[in-house]
């Protein structure tokens, strides 16, 4: 795939970016370089290589998953403009 100034203009429009006309061709060249590099990655032989998240074989540290309410309801409600019975009080939004 090749990127030209027309495609860069369309991408910029979709991303709501204002790109000066003289920057379109240099940006197209940069995007073509990135796409070429990605094509090179596709040529790498990864047959027999297991997927991994890290180059080190270290187990992910975990903690016991304990469900609780945090025991901080008073601290959470402390900055609320208005509370009632441990809940936030909000003005009516729908009639």
Q: Give 37-64 pLDDT, tens digit per residue.
A: 999 998 999 899 888 877 887 887 888 8
Query: For position 56, what pLDDT does the model report?
Result: 82
Give pairs for 34-40: CB < 8 Å, separation 24+. 35/1, 35/2, 35/3
Per CATH, the number for 5-42 is 1.10.20
3-class secondary-structure state, position 7:
helix
Closest CA to 27 of 5, 59, 45: 5
How far apart are the C-alpha atoms of 91 and 95, rounded to whole Å?
A: 11
Write out residues in the chain with pLDDT < 70, as ranges. none
Answer yes or no: are the C-beta atoms of 55 and 63 closer than 8 Å: no
Query: For position 30, what pLDDT does the model report?
Result: 96
Query: For position 83, what pLDDT does the model report?
Result: 93
How far apart are the C-alpha atoms of 81 and 88, rounded to whole Å?
A: 8
């Amino acid at each position: 795939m090749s990127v030209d100034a027309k495609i860069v203009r369309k991408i910029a429009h979709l991303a709501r970016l204002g790109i000066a006309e003289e920057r379109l061709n240099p940006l197209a060249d940069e995007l073509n370089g990135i796409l070429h590099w990605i094509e090179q990655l596709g040529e790498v032989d990864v047959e027999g290589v297991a997927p991994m998240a890290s180059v080190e074989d270290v187990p992910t540290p975990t903690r016991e998953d304990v469900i609780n309410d945090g025991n901080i309801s008073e601290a959470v409600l402390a900055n609320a403009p208005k509370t009632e019975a441990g809940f936030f009080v909000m003005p009516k939004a729908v009639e």
